Amino acid sequence: MNISRQQIYGLLILISASIMFGRIMAVDRVDYKELQNYKWRLNNKLYKEKNERLKGRLERGEIKYESYVREMKKTHQSLTKDAQYNTPILSGNDRSRWGTIRVLVEPELRVKRKIKDINGNESEQIVWYAIDNVQGEKGFDTIDMVKHSLPDDPEVGYLYSSKPPLLPTLMAIPYAAIYHGSNWLFKSKEIEISPDLSDTKPESAEVVPEVAPTEIQNDSSEFETVPDSLAVKFGGDSGEVSGLGTISLADNEERYFVVRAMLVLINLIPVVFCWVLLSRLIEQFGKDDWSRIFCVAFICFGTFLSTFIVTLNNHIPAMVCVTITCYAVVRIFFDDKVRLRYFFVAGFFGVLAFACDLPTISFGFVVGLLLLIKHPRQTLAGFVPMAMIVFAGFFATNYVAHHDIRPAYGNKEWYFFEYQRSPNQNAEPLKSYWYNPQGVDKGESSRLVYCVQSMVGHHGLFSLTPVFLLSFLGLFLWLFWGGDLRLRVSALVILVISVVVLAFYLLLMGQNQRSYGGVSSALRWLFWLIPLWSVALVGIVDKMAKYATGRGICLIFLLVSIFSASYPTWNPWTHPWLYQLMIYLKFPVLM
């Protein structure tokens, strides 16, 4: 039976997609499980003590059974919520975006302020994108936030995600469909107390299991003493189940469904689509069967994109946008397809990449310039209008959020503030994390050390993913011996963009920004360049595949790359294996 290369590509992509889907379905903060189990056992004890006290008062006739049921249900809800630590949201970086998504979709979380019109009439106004109310919810606190006031009220400050708001706004669309769609399907229902409830006697006070379950259940049906009419999940003290059936991030159990569904929609499906596009480009530029299959295997298994598939981040969407733009540009430059749709695609996704990851502006600018030189009429008719639409959305959402077209990154003073975890609390105010950052967030004091560690050290581009060494060799091969002028120009463009981005992060950043991307398993700010480097890889592998030694070197590099990407099994927001090894060997590293 003859198997085509395309069938092998499809098999590799299918295996990669299945692995990534499995990781999404298993996403969880497994490091919190022991803490959660301890808290569950402690709260079980507290619950039983209160149950005994109220049961005694009930037997003495001091309270009615109706009050007993209500109080114990309220206690169960409170203690259960207090014991919940496990979450599918893995870091403050994730929570920053999830917070913005929630305030855009869930009306009760939106911050409101009192304003007066010119006649002195008072009304409420929504402070869009403010995440103050989300910060009060367990599991949604974040260090990636800023605080500033509004122009007409400089005395009151509000908390916002530090991330540019266009991407979270787009990400809120599928959550809005889940939230409002489920709310439409399952309308709110009132819970009524049975009139004969006061005559009912409790059968047992032993209502909480001694052993902590592996997953906390938020369902009151565990209460043996509660009649069926009350064996439902309470949404508040009023006795109303808020949106019975509404699927939201507010509920700990439903949170897993929402997060996993959105990761599939936002991360997995677009990434698999990109693997298909990249396999087509590799097929087009490659010359040898072995090298083509090697390059497709690398993009499927050897990069950190699959590692970060379980988090809501900006790097995967940026990579997706760059891949789609590259595909459209190749169709225009190499296949001479000057249909307007390719210019629309290049303009929209080339600039949307910038909205996801700001340094990609260099990529979008170069693409637009090359298209303008080669095909000015189509570029002005297709690329420019789509680019303007995305730019307008980027700056408009930024202005709505911050009353400033500059991203929050451009206002460093916004990072230093005091705040309360919830506006309803009277506790002592907390200080922003950035007053006293810890570990790698302090920043590498030596620029030279930072450059070395970022290239060939514990967070090294080439030490963790040595296949990229071959990518740069492939770029030089295309540049000097590519033959086709278009290949040589492409290699030059990719090299220039790569050097500019590396110089920006390695040479221009201050100490507090030389943090290796924070607690992260890789230099995530380079992820959007992976499609460019992966396609350039095929040129040099074509040459090396002719020799057994060359194939052996390629396979060793691939194995190391796959190992590095697979090492952070549960959470990509951990340090890479080389960092952990250096700590074990007592090498000096930022901790």
Q: Where are the domains of the chain?
A: 5-27+273-363+434-584
Spatial distance between the Cα atoms of 458 and 449, rounded to a whole number of angstroms: 11
φ, ψ of residue 339 to 5 degrees: the values are -65, 145
**Cβ count near 128 (within 10 Å):** 17
Spatial distance between the Cα atoms of 36 and 83, rounded to a whole number of angstroms: 6
Q: What is the pLDDT of residue 413?
A: 93
Report the greatest alpha carbon distance in the chain: 96
DSSP bridge pairs for 145: 161
Crossing angle (nearest 10°) for helices 269-285 and 5-25: 160
Alpha-helical runs (H) found in 117-251? 132-135, 166-185
Which residue bears the tokens 């709110």? Answer: 188
Spatial distance between the Cα atoms of 423 and 159, rounded to a whole number of angstroms: 11
DSSP 8-state code for residue 197: G
Spatial distance between the Cα atoms of 76 and 70, rounded to a whole number of angstroms: 10
DSSP bridge pairs for 431: 418
For the chain, give me the number of helices (H) and strands (E)? 21, 8
What six digits make up the tokens of 130? 């403010």
Q: What is the pLDDT of residue 423?
A: 56
- Three-class SS of residue 306? coil
**Cβ count near 99 (within 10 Å):** 32
Residues with Cβ < 8 Å from 116, sequence gap 6 or more?
122, 123
Q: CB-based burial of residue 371 (10 Å sphere; 0-12 exposed, 13-18 middle, 19+ buried)?
A: buried
Q: What is the pLDDT of residue 75?
A: 85
Spatial distance between the Cα atoms of 466 and 478, rounded to a whole number of angstroms: 19
Q: CB-based burial of residue 336 (10 Å sphere; 0-12 exposed, 13-18 middle, 19+ buried)?
A: exposed
Altogether, the residues listed in the chain come to a count of 591
Q: What is the pLDDT of residue 216?
A: 33
Catalogue the long-range contacts made by 380-386 (C-beta closer than 8 Å, 24 or more residues apart).
Answer: 381/340, 381/343, 382/340, 382/341, 382/342, 382/343, 382/344, 382/346, 382/347, 383/343, 383/344, 383/346, 383/347, 383/350, 384/347, 385/347, 386/343, 386/344, 386/345, 386/347, 386/348, 386/351
Spatial distance between the Cα atoms of 321 and 18, rounded to a whole number of angstroms: 22
SS (H, E, C) 44-82: HHHHHHHHHHHHHHHHCCCCCHHHHHHHHHHHHHHHHHH
In single-letter form, the type of residue at position 449 comes to V
Spatial distance between the Cα atoms of 228 and 244, rounded to a whole number of angstroms: 16
Spatial distance between the Cα atoms of 496 and 502, rounded to a whole number of angstroms: 10
List the chain residues with pLDDT less than 50: 188-243
What six digits make up the tokens of 286? 């490659």
Beta strands in 420-533 (DSSP E): 430-431
Nearest partner of 162 among 148, 145, 177, 187, judged by Cα: 145
Spatial distance between the Cα atoms of 276 and 167, rounded to a whole number of angstroms: 24
Nearest partner of 247 among 178, 184, 188, 190, judged by Cα: 178
Spatial distance between the Cα atoms of 110 and 134, rounded to a whole number of angstroms: 9
* C-beta of residue 28 within 8 angstroms of C-beta of residue 86: yes
* C-beta of residue 22 within 8 angstroms of C-beta of residue 78: no
What six digits make up the tokens of 216? 């906390």
Residues with Cβ < 8 Å from 35, sequence gap 6 or more?
85
Spatial distance between the Cα atoms of 165 and 336, rounded to a whole number of angstroms: 37
Q: What is the pLDDT of residue 492?
A: 96
State pTM to two decimals: 0.86
In single-letter form, the type of residue at position 419 comes to Y
Q: How far is CA 344 from CA 274, 341, 365, in A?
A: 18, 5, 15
Rg (CA), the chain: 28
